Amino acid sequence: MPQSQSQSQSQPDSIPATRTENVLLLFAHEPYHPGPGTREVNTTVISAASLLYAQVHQPDGVGIHDLLTRGRRPGEIVPLSTLTHELDGGALWPQVGDWEAVTSDLVTSCAAATATHSAWAFP
């Protein structure tokens, strides 16, 4: 569906404008070990606000945050694959941001235990 001139180019027509801040992003990644004697971690859940921090690739983090927080329910966990589906199977990712760079930054921050944001890593 074509976008109107008044819409942000980073948002497909099907994404509602209502914004919900208390949303979580779930994504899988290459495994890492958080410390000696621990199991590997290959899935992470972060708060939407984590996408806004300076240690995350910007302005891509802001673009993903905008998409992630539109038309959601408070406390909703949104898999990265859901965003990909909403972005025409991923074809519209370039209009939103570099999800690979952003998730890589988030994993690096979580793995280094320097994260100043809410994050949960699952083995």
pLDDT in tens, 64-122: 999 999 999 999 999 999 999 999 999 999 999 999 999 999 988 887 764 444 456 56
Closest CA relative to residue 69, chosen from 90, 50, 93: 50
What's the whole-model pTM score? 0.78
| pLDDT exceeds 90 at position 24 | yes
Closest CA relative to residue 18, chosen from 76, 57, 61, 68: 68
Closest CA relative to residue 103, chosen from 81, 71, 87, 123: 81
Q: To the nearest whole percent, how much of the chain has pLDDT over 70?
A: 78
